[in-house]
Structure 1
Amino acid sequence: MARNKIKQQVCANCGHYFGQDENFCPKCGQENHTPNQPIKHYLVELVEALLHLDSKFFHTIWVILRYPGLITKEYNENKRARYMPPIRLYVFVSLVFFVSLQAPHVYDKSNQKELEKQELDEYFEDSKRELQIYLDSLNSAYLNYRSDSLLLSKQSISIDDSLAKTGQMHWSLVDSIRLKLDSIEQKHIEFKNHPVSMDSLYKILQNEQDSVNINIGNIKFDLTRSEFNKLKSGSDELIDSFILSKNQQPNYFNRITVKQTLKLANGGEDYVHRMTEKIIKFSSGSFFFLMPIFGFLLYLFYIRRKRNYYEYLIFSLHLHIVVFLVLGILFLINIFIELEYYYFLIGIALLYFYLVKALRLNYDQSRLRTFFKSLLLMFIYSIFLLLALVITVILGFFTV
């Protein structure tokens, strides 16, 4: 809540006379605070109530980043009043982190129209340029051939039939290329007059393809465009019939896999964005299971310490907070300045160094022992992370 309270002398609820330092009524528990204040006061209270950003927050962030493992050590020693509660801090930091993962898509959308217009123009101009180059080279080759043929004819070599046939083929091919150029030019004008998104262009180009290639595990097949359009809007019976035609069992998994794959093949970029949002959503929830697992791994690694599991869980919470802080900052910077991949590698290396320092401070073992334990710990935890990633991708694919 806001720190600048307007105090009362008497509790309006029960009539108790407040002492100088009493912030709450000892009789009824009501806060010593006059509610009738300017709207600015309540806006400040609202922001602080939602985010809980007080001096504890900034002090906690400073300590947790500057001194690896110190906040966990002091929190487990019951020196916790100066710090923000780890659960509350984790909720806030993870929210910022997962928002930063989705932010590039939102940021791209703000510039999407102008970028799409440029991409469309480039697409049409490149197509016209390639055809024109081909046309010019064709004309040049024909002129050279005609020049050589005339030279040979002067030497009484009969090539009239060959020259005539070549000329017919040449002008037929030239007419075909010019028709394509005119068609592209016409489409370019139409797109300028009636703007469309790149996703729409993708679908238009996709519909012009003769076939669609789809690969789903053991089910591999090519569809004509008409078969694809019929199947994607078909009933379960039609899809089952199709699966049987590919010598596969028409069970629930195969049926839903075919349906979702057809959606993916037909949906374009929009489908991919929606699936990505689903994956991020499930990923954020998965860490509520992963953090206790990491804490339990710590418990097993240091089981001789005879400490409660709660202490290892606090360590896990604080470590994941630091991970989300560092990676979240990198992702936020990457929205505005495209970072090279090695910046993220440096970030991961720093996080590993942080883990080693935090383990050494909290469990007081040698550097070498702590180093090897941390390597083994991260290897095992990476397996759980990979498993969680696979599950979230599957959930994202099947629920979009």
Structure 2
Amino acid sequence: MSHGKIREDKTCLNCGHTVEERFCPHCGQENTETKQPFHYLFTHFIEDFTHYDGQFWKTIKYLLFRPGKLTKEYLAGKRQTYVAPVKLYIFVSFITFFLPSLLSSSEEEQKTNDVYTLNTKEREQANKERVAKMLDSIGRENKNIKIPKETINDLKVSVVNNNDSRTDAVGETEDGKLTILGAKNMKQFDSLYIKSSDSRSIFDFMRPFAKKVFHFQEQGLNKEQIFDKFSETVVHTLPKALFIYLPVFAFFLWLFHNKKKWWFFDNGIFTLHYFSFLLLGILIIIFLSELLSLLPDYSIFNILSILISTIAIFYMFIYFFIAHHRVYENSRSISIIKGMSLFIINFFALLCMLLLLVYTSFRMMH
């Protein structure tokens, strides 16, 4: 508790009620002097932090390793020793949103930018050398021919666009560039769109992706760098999808259970705790992935990374069934049937929402 000096005046500064001891019985405010020594700022911070720290870590321990425990405790009225469900979800969601950006240092970003610039310069230099060789060859064979400047520029554009590469049906050229429906740039994409009168719907759907991919490749990004950007977009989109899906998930729970015994509020508490666990699991996977990426690129470390991610994903899968069985107290067989039905329905519904948000986020990605 705080050790601030208590006011001699027994009137609460917040609500005006009489304060017999340290805290106001009406509003709970501590009746301490408004002006305290400077060191009080630090001692007060430490006291508040350690108090929250104990509450927080107990909540996290139950959330991670005792599926359904927090929900049962909260619904039973034991709420003072745990972080409130809404506060917990907001906190974990906030950290999950910003952790990837915190882990990526400015040095890494600068290094990446340097690589992009280097790749662009190397391609430009290679194109210039090719054009120079072509012009020298033409000049030796036809010494009296003067080539206009516009023609030289056209040759440069032609070399940049073609780059002596073959278009693969699988979406990648020999030099590592991505293709969309066989096109290497938007000009080719539009040309294929005109020719493919029977399958224009797929071209309409893929157009935003094509624009982004070709835009990034023009900036010097390779296939791996584009996929990294896309993966980052998915990671940032998932918490948004979960937040939007919260009431939908609670609604499905409400449909599958006794509505007299389990109110929508109760299902909402279960949903908040379960989604907080999912976000925390995503957070841990991101952190471990970043940590393992710092290790040398040996097979043992790659296997370890895959193994940890697989175990974490499997635990996140079975966690729902354990928590559902403990909270709703159905028989094991009924709990498995309801849990599996809910899992399948919510999986496909959440997947559709996630794909929609990823599609929207990808279009706005820069």
* TM bracket (short chain): 0.5 to 0.7
Quick check: 1:297 aligned with 2:252? yes
CA gap of 1:50–1:200, structure 2 versus 1, over 3 A, is farther
Q: What one-letter code is carried by the residue in structure 2 that aligns with 1:88? A: K
Give 2:41's aligned residue. 42
The question of whether the paired residues in 1 share the 8 Å contact of 2:253 and 2:267 is answered with yes
Q: Report the CA distance between 1:394 and its aligned residue.
A: 0.9
Quick check: 1:331 aligned with 2:248? no
1:258-310 Cα distance to aligned partner (Å, 9 max, x none): 54343233232676666555544433222122222222222222246642111
SS of residue in 1 equivalent to 2:72: helix
Q: What one-letter code is carried by the residue in structure 2 that aligns with 1:75? A: Y
Give 2:119's aligned residue. 202
Q: Separation in 1 of the partners of 2:97 and 2:58?
A: 23
Out of 183, 187, 203, the residue aligned to residue 221 of structure 1 is: 183
SS of residue in 2 equivalent to 1:337: helix
CA gap of 1:12–1:91, structure 2 versus 1, over 3 A, is closer
CA gap of 1:260–1:369, structure 2 versus 1, over 3 A, is same
SS of residue in 2 equivalent to 1:365: coil
Q: What one-letter code is carried by the residue in structure 2 that aligns with 1:203? A: T
Same amino acid, percent of matched pairs: 23
Q: Separation in 2 of the partners of 1:50 and 1:284?
A: 26
Q: Separation in 1 of the partners of 2:3 and 2:227?
A: 48
Give 2:329's aligned residue. 364
SS of residue in 1 equivalent to 2:183: strand
Q: Separation in 2 of the partners of 1:199 and 1:61?
A: 41
Quick check: 1:389 aligned with 2:354? yes
Comparing 388-397 with 325-334, greater Cα deviation is found at 325-334
Q: Report the CA distance between 1:89 and its aligned residue.
A: 0.6
Q: Report the CA distance between 1:334 and its aligned residue.
A: 2.5
Q: Report the CA distance between 1:318 and its aligned residue.
A: 0.7
CA gap of 1:93–1:246, structure 2 versus 1, over 3 A, is same
CA RMSD of aligned residues (A): 4.1
Q: Separation in 2 of the partners of 1:328 and 1:222?
A: 37
1:191-239 Cα distance to aligned partner (Å, 9 max, x none): xxxxx821123333555453586754xx64345xxxx7xx79xxxxxx9
Gaps of 5+ in 1: 117-195, 233-238
Quick check: 1:309 aligned with 2:309? no
Give 1:320's aligned residue. 275
1:16-65 Cα distance to aligned partner (Å, 9 max, x none): 76322324777xx8652334335554367679989993432222223333
Q: Separation in 2 of the partners of 1:271 and 1:200?
A: 15
SS of residue in 1 equivalent to 2:253: helix
Whose Rg is larger? 1
Comparing 304-313 with 264-273, greater Cα deviation is found at 264-273
Q: Separation in 1 of the partners of 2:190 and 2:32?
A: 68
Q: Separation in 2 of the partners of 1:324 and 1:282?
A: 12
1:342-375 Cα distance to aligned partner (Å, 9 max, x none): 2122112223333222222222222233223322
CA gap of 1:310–1:17, structure 2 versus 1, over 3 A, is closer
Give 2:241's aligned residue. 286
Q: What one-letter code is carried by the residue in structure 1 that aligns with 2:74? A: Y
Aligned residues: 300
Give 2:143's aligned residue. none
Gaps of 5+ in 2: 128-159, 168-177, 294-303
TM-score by length of 1: 0.61
Q: Separation in 2 of the partners of 1:197 and 1:48?
A: 47
Q: Separation in 1 of the partners of 2:73 and 2:270?
A: 11
Give 2:364's aligned residue. 399
The question of whether the paired residues in 2 share the 8 Å contact of 1:6 and 1:33 is answered with yes
SS of residue in 2 equivalent to 1:221: coil
Q: What one-letter code is carried by the residue in structure 1 that aligns with 2:72? A: K
